[in-house]
Amino acid sequence: MVNQKWKKYWQVLTSNNIGLFGLILLVIFLLIALLAPILAPFDPSARVGDPFMKPNSQFLLGTNDVGQDILSELLYGTRISLLIGVIAAFISILLGCLVGIISGYYGGKTDAFLMRLVDLVLVIPFLPLMILLAAFIGPSFWNIVLVISLISWASPARVIRSQVLTLKTKGYVEAAKSIGTNITVILGRHILPGVIPIALSQFVLAASHSILIEASLSFLGLGDPFTKSWGTILYYAQARGAFLTDAWIWWVLPPGLLITTLVIGFAFTGYSLEEILNPRLRKER
């Protein structure tokens, strides 16, 4: 039964051009991340050429300010950008699910308090807050993940809460409640399966935001100096003035295009998932 439902989602997703396009992009990036050691011609942290070399047959995208191969940096950077985006999105959705389910299921004062909290978090200008936190706790992979997920759980929490509110009134939940079913069983068996598809689409959208935020933080010099993401590559390109020379074509353009394409991949997948799961949206478009 559950399997059939997923099969149907899969069919709608792949029959929808936008969703299919997004999904293909994500698969390509996943492959690049996994196969980086095979695809990359050089070790991205090794000084393999002279600094500031133009693209040639050996270094397809030239070298950076310390003579590292830019193409290899980009291929390995896929791992960092993808990983930070996915982990941060996962944690924030986990938090969002927790808050959303508790808030929606228990209602009353708990609900009022948690939703107030969500309102509060949504008011705070998130990028400046992240800069503040990142500056104090220091730049590292996990700190960036932490900072992003601590601030982006709020709007998924609200979406999941409204889903729980509809699920709560369903006959089978009421029935389970009336025969005194254990609350963990109700939540685990009846509420959670209804929440997961929505959480999935929220996760995909959150990942696209996290990737953009990570890029901005790294660009401001708050990224992990030891694991170079695409944002970090652009930070160095900016610091060395690459965008004022011809080097912009091979040093500035490619990382940004990669970020945009990856974000588009997540966003397209997310939007079409949303459309599948929210029939109201489908009708209105």
User: Which residue number, 208 or 227, has a Cβ lying nearer to other proteins?
Assistant: 208
* Short-list 31, 77, 36, 74, CA closest to 55: 74
Distances in Å between the Cα of 62 and the Cα atoms of 50, 221, 229 are 9, 23, 18
Shortest Å, Cβ 186 to other proteins: 32
User: Which residue number, 185 or 244, has a Cβ lying nearer to other proteins?
Assistant: 244
User: Which residue number, 34 or 137, has a Cβ lying nearer to other proteins?
Assistant: 137
User: Which member of 96, 104, 231, 270 binds other proteins (CB under 8 A)?
Assistant: 231
User: Which residue stretch of 142-150, 165-173, 193-201, 242-250 sits at the interface with other proteins (rule: CB under 8 A)?
Assistant: 242-250
Residue 125 contacts other proteins per CB under 8 A: yes
User: Any long-range contacts for 113-122 (C-beta under 8 Å, 24+ apart)?
Assistant: 114/157, 114/161, 115/158, 115/161, 117/154, 118/154, 118/155, 118/157, 118/158, 121/151, 121/153, 121/154, 122/154, 122/155
- Rounded to 10 degrees, what is the CA torsion of 42, 48, 51, 57? -60
Task: Report CA torsion sign: 125, 127, 129, 132.
Answer: negative
> What span, in angstroms and rounded, lies between the C-alpha atoms of 236 and 257?
17
> What span, in angstroms and rounded, lies between the C-alpha atoms of 17 and 28?
17
Residue 233 contacts other proteins per CB under 8 A: no
User: Which residue number, 105 or 266, has a Cβ lying nearer to other proteins?
Assistant: 266
Shortest Å, Cβ 210 to other proteins: 12
Residue 282 contacts other proteins per CB under 8 A: no
Shortest Å, Cβ 221 to other proteins: 6
Residue 215 contacts other proteins per CB under 8 A: yes
> What span, in angstroms and rounded, lies between the C-alpha atoms of 3 and 142?
35
Residue 147 contacts other proteins per CB under 8 A: no
Residue 260 contacts other proteins per CB under 8 A: yes
Q: What residues line the site for other proteins (CB under 8 A)?
A: 116, 119-120, 123-129, 131-132, 135-137, 208, 212, 215-216, 219-222, 231, 234, 237-238, 243-245, 248, 252-253, 255-256, 259-260, 263-264, 267-268, 284-285
